[in-house]
Structure formats: structure tokens, C-alpha cells
Amino acid sequence: MAFTKRKAFAAIMAATIGSVSLVACSDSSESTSSGGGDATGPVTLTVWTSQEDQTDNDAWLQTMQAKFEEANPDLDITWKNSVVSAADAADTVSQDPSAAADVYLFANDQLGSLLSSGAIGQLSDNGEKQLKEQTEENLANSVKHTDGNYYGLPYEPNTWFMYYDKSKLSEEDVKSFDTMLEKAKVSFPMSNSWYLGAFYAGAGATFFGADGLDESAGVQAGDKAAAVTKYLAEVVQNRTSSTMLMVPVWVHWVPMLTLCSPEHGMQRMLSRRSAITWVSPRFLPSSWMAKTCRSRHSLARRL
């Protein structure tokens, strides 16, 4: 049986999302070259991820590669791993798409740029089928372009989490931002507008329509926007220097099938005295949580 680079990618992507059901072998009569880097026999796959994903042999990237090799002992793959963060993917790939990695991570708001530079290919029919079977619709839509095709696989959530010290705050306390401010010292990046959108969304603001894809709809701040701005200004005005007990973070290793379950995949980040909560439901109701619990970063292949 012939082993193609393109089919190797498909199988690797399947393994990444918790399944190895995509076939990585083909009939020996299949052409050894059909464009886009197809090759038979031993292959070298170039993979780009962030530094923290590949720090040592126990890191996420090496672990996934080892699991894939174990599940497919008949395949001969040489891995060529390099550090290119998801935030830098589009800029790096666009410089020379022909020299880009076979597999890389990208922030899904870079999809338009990657398509414009011809640096990303859509999922195969099999890949799209697995994507829809193994993810919720809002996650699948995070890698869907306006052309109706899917590009890449969701890898981590496009939202943020907050740490809190359970010895200072209870589960009930963290339901209110005001209560947290009263009972504990809080650190929050108020100067970073990426995080502030949650406060406005919880008060009724919408961003580019109901599905977030309607550019013509623009940003509708809502009737309570002024009140939210005033509240945030008051919070900043009354803040004091403090020990950081709470900080929003992105998480890289939340498994795709549990992206919306902060309890899973996070335990190794937490001490016994720490826990995780979503941003306060006062500002981020469940309906908005569902909308924002979509992938920020995606796995992709180049053409």
C-alpha cells in the first residue's frame, strides 16, 4: 500500500481530535503526485506550533505524534517541528506559502488572510464529516469560511478563563464581579480591549450579527453600553495595587471534545487551592457563553 503525505495529514488530524478512523493508506495504484506535496513511502512532515506545545518529549505536540505512530506502526514519518505561534501563523505563511509547514496552528480570525495568499486548503470530505460528528456546530463554524467550506480543525477555545483562590472566594462569590472585588484582590487587564467585550456582550451588545459573521451588521453597543463603560471606569478608579489572585488566560491543551468544560484538561494547571470559572455570569450570560465557546486556534494544512 502506498502512503501519501496528504493522507498522512488527514490521519494525523483525526488523531489530534481523538480519533484515528481516517485511512492513512491507499491503493498502490494511486498516483504518487497529485499536487500539494503528495508523496509515497517515507515522508517528512513539517509542523509548526507554539514553544509551550513542544517544550520536551512529554509536551502536547510530541505526545500526539507518538500516539499517532503507535496507532500506525506501518507508516514511516519523520517529524520536523518548528516554533511558529498561532498568532504569527498568517504573517509567516504569507511570506512564502510554498515554504510553509504541512501542519500549523492559526487563529481563526486569520483565515481570510490565509485564503487570500493561497496558503491553506479545505478539509477533505472525510475530514469535514469527522469534524461535524465530533464537534458542536458552533465549534465547527469557527473554521468555516463564507464560501461554505471548512479549513482546519478547532484546537482551543476562543474565550478566556479566570483563576480564583478557593480559600478567598466561593463558587457563589465568583458569580458576581462586584462580590469578587469586595472579598478579594483582583487583577484584570482593563487596558486590553479583547477582554472587555464580554462586559458589553453580557449587557446586550452584539458583534457582527447574531452569528458573528455578518460584517454589514457591525457592532451594536446596545442601550446599556454607557452604563457598562461608566461601571468599568469606576472599577479602574477604585482599584488598588494587589497580589494577583485572578487573571484571565487562554488555554492550549483543552481537548477539543471538552472545549466547553473547563473542568477537563485543566487539572495540571491548578493547585489544590485553585479553581477556574468563566467570566462572571452577571456580564456573560449562558447564551453568550455558548456563542463565545468557539475555537480561537485551528489546525490547518497548506495547499
- Tell if the pTM clears 0.75, that is, is over it: no
Q: Where are the domains of the chain?
A: 43-120, 173-237
What pLDDT score does 238 carry? Answer: 73
Give 29's pLDDT tier (boundaries 50, 70, 90): very low
List residues bridging with 71 in a β-sheet: none
Say if residues 180 and 174 touch (Cβ distance below 8 Å): yes
Residue closest to 120 by CA, chosen among 160, 139, 147: 147
What is 43-120's CATH number, 1.25.40.10, 3.40.190.10, 1.10.287.130, 3.40.50.300? 3.40.190.10
* Residue 228 amino acid letter: V
Reduced DSSP (H G I as helix, E B as strand, rest coil) percent helix, strand, coil of the chain, to 5: 40, 15, 45
CA 172 to chain centroid: 29
Chain segment 219-251, per-residue pLDDT in tens: 898 899 999 999 888 888 776 444 333 444 433
Chain segment 150-173, per-residue pLDDT in tens: 998 887 766 677 788 888 889 899
